[in-house]
Amino acid sequence: MSLTVLYDAPGPKTRRRSMIASIVGVIVIIAFFFWMYVTLAAPRVNETSGVTTPGMFDPSRWDIMADPVVWQSFGEATVNTLRMAAVAAVLALMIGILFSFGRAARITWVRVVTGVILEFVRGIPVLLMIFFVFLVFTAGSYWSGVFGLALYNGAIIGEALRAGIRSLPRGQREAGLSVGLTPMKSWILIEFPQAFRQMLPIILAQLVVLLKDTSLAYIVSYPELARTISNNRNFYGSRYMFTLFVVGLVIYLALNLTVSWIARFVARRSGPRLGKADLNVPMALGAEGTRAITLPVLERDRPPDPGH
Amino acid sequence: MDAIIDVTPAYLAGFWTTLQLLVISGIGAFIVGAIIAVMRISPVPSLRAFATVYTEVLRNVPLLLVLMFCALVLPILGSDLDYFPLALIGLTAYTSPFVAEAIRSGFNGVPVGQAEAARSIGMGFTQTVGLVVLPQAGRMVVPPLINVFIALTKNTSVAGIFFVDELFKQTNAGARDNPDAVILILLYAALLYLCITVPLGLIAGAIEKRVVVMR
């Protein structure tokens, strides 16, 4: 049971009311899905031509799934998606580190130029960036996808790292300098590792976004999952659109949920420790681990159970 | 230079469509997102569960697939809407969980002692949220919300793949028609996008600074 400070621990009356509301809610949701199922399964009649097409769950719409070639194409697409995401993630991390380094430089023009490039890269759509690399550098569809994604996500990671470095107590850097490290060495040995650790949850969340955004390589015809759905549709005919879409959706959901879960797990294991977190840490979206109004109350804050 | 002048009318029309997509789906996403956020903190478990599942699913599906669903699957299911409203539906649905998360993070930014103090002087759920938490959360919500809208601006470009004549689609056509001035054509489009995103970013930064000072 999650306790929040917003309302009292429910008494018997409220519990009953909340139970009723819950049951009604579940019934409404189930009814909605049932209605959707019936609507999808019903055969469709075209009013102008009078032609009837079978419902969405009719075997004639799913028979291509017996064809191993379709499965093979989806398998290859999944591998392509993952490969692009992996290479782009590594590059994005490197670009992000470079950006944060440039933003922290002591030479003014380096700082200003990095800042302008960052604003530019962050402000335009990833789609446009991929397209730009594709047309201007005539890199193949694979590399334009990788570079477009790496550049954009690198900029975001760079900003996250910079925010992490700025949130460190100044004493860290001063201590480094006072024991005789050069500013560069103090940045590499003292500030950066702490900022990276601090910002790990945000960086990992951004890598999940990157995985999702590989679908934008659709525009340069890279055969990843979304492009494969549309290729198969063109090959087998649009009556299979629904089937192909559902298969693609399930693969995407499985991939992304797994990666987000791993990201959350890693972030919890190696991110800033609960309670040790610095107060100056910039607020993350839905900051994990902060004690807050809408999150369940921590175990130690729970009111002690009255003895029975 | 001629290429730039040639594409300008199409670009301006596309820019206008992009703005429309941004404003209409932004308002839609704000309304849906606010409802989802309220459901997530509500006392009724089934509402909370529904909101959580909705958020998790939509956040883990690429926007391209959401729009593909709207543009290619919905017509099979019997919708006879135009591509523009279909894109609006897709963008609204995709953006709403991010709005909900931004609102929730604003709520989380209010120190828990505020809510405890309100509860301890006997305020109920509605009073605590409406009189104490919400007014403070409102200020904190604005910067992350603006960031969501910046992302939405960039996301509208995906609608161009699905037959909406917005800026990215015009860019695509412009680059095809002027192969010798591709760089200029693309930079021009980038500049138009920056015209929306950079001012929004500056506003978010300014508000963020003021909120930090007030704390």
Domains in chain B: boundaries? 2-214
- With respect to residue A29, please indicate whether it lies within any of the assigned structural domains: no
The ipTM of this complex is 0.86
Q: Is the pLDDT of residue B65 over 60?
A: yes
The confidence band for B208, taking pLDDT boundaries of 50, 70 and 90, is: confident
Question: Between chains, do A215 and B63 touch, taking CB under 8 Å as contact?
Answer: yes
Q: What is the pLDDT of residue B213?
A: 61
Asked if A6's CB is within 8 angstroms of B40's CB, the reply is: no
Residues 69-128, chain A: which have Cβ within 8 Å of B? 119-120, 122-128
Question: What are the residues whose beta carbons fall under 8 Å from the beta carbon of A3, sequence distance 6 or more?
Answer: A9, A296, A297, A302
The phi, psi pair for A122, rounded to 5°, reads -75, -25
- In tens, the pLDDT along A224-272 reads 999 999 999 888 887 888 889 999 999 999 999 999 888 888 877 775 5
Domain limits for position A119: 71-301
Taking an 8 Å cut-off on Cβ atoms, the answer to whether A284 and B105 are in contact is yes
Q: Rounded to an integer, what distance in angstroms lies between the CA atom of residue A289 and that of residue A275? A: 9
User: Is A194 within the bounds of a domain?
Assistant: yes
Q: What is the pLDDT of residue A4?
A: 64
Cβ proximity of A191 and A167 under 8 Å = no
For CA atoms A227, A233, A236, A242, the dihedral sign is positive
- Give the pLDDT band (50/70/90) at residue A289: very low
pLDDT of residue A251: 93
Given a contact cutoff of 8 angstroms between Cβ atoms, the answer to whether A192 and A228 are in contact is no
Taking only the tens place, the pLDDT of each residue in A130-145 is: 999 999 888 889 999 9
| pLDDT at residue B88 tops 90 | yes
Q: H/E element holding A98?
A: helix A68-103
More confident residue, B1 or A103: A103
What's the pLDDT tens digit per position in A9-40?
778 888 888 888 888 888 988 998 898 888 88
Cα separation, B91 vs B67, in Å, equals 7
Q: Per-residue pLDDT for A305 more than 60?
A: no
Task: Render pLDDT for B95-150 as a digit per residue (tens, 0 to 9).
Answer: 999 999 888 888 777 888 888 898 889 888 788 888 888 888 887 888 889 989 99
Of the candidates A121, A96, A101, A293, which has an alpha carbon nearest to the alpha carbon of residue A199? A96
- Average per-residue pLDDT for chain A: 82
pLDDT of residue B214: 61
CB-CB under 8 Å, A6 with B186 = no
Q: How far apart are CA A265 and CA A262, in angstroms?
A: 5
Beta bridge partners of A52: A45
What mean pLDDT is predicted for residues B55-61?
Answer: 89
CATH number, domain of A83, equals 1.10.3720.10
- Higher pLDDT: A308 or A119? It is A119
Which CATH code, of 1.20.1270.10, 1.10.3720.10, 3.40.1390.40, 3.40.50.620, is assigned to B2-214? Answer: 1.10.3720.10
Does residue A216 form part of some domain?
A: yes
pLDDT band (50, 70, 90) for residue A218: very high
Instruction: Tell me the pLDDT band of A279, cut-offs 50, 70 and 90.
Output: very low
Indicate if the pLDDT at residue A297 is higher than 70: no
Select from B66, B94, B112, B207 the residue whose CB has the most chain A CBs within 10 Å, as the one to mutate to test that interface.
Answer: B112
* pLDDT tens track for A85-132: 999 999 999 999 999 988 888 889 999 999 999 989 988 999 999 999
Which residues are CB-neighbours of B44 under 8 A, at least 6 positions away? A18, A21, A22, A25
Q: Which of the four pLDDT bands, split at 50, 70 and 90, describes residue B85?
A: very high
Supply the DSSP string of A212-243, one letter for each residue.
HHGGGGGGGT--SHHHHHHHHHHHH-GGGHHH
CA distance B4 to chain A (A): 16
Number of folded domains that form chain A: 1
**Would you say residue A38 lies in a domain?**
no
Whether residue B23 is predicted with pLDDT greater than 90 in this model: the reply is: yes
pLDDT of residue A1: 33
Helix A241-270 vs helix A68-103: crossing angle, to nearest 10:
40
**What was the pLDDT predicted at A89?**
95
- Residue A278 clears pLDDT 70, i.e. is over it: no
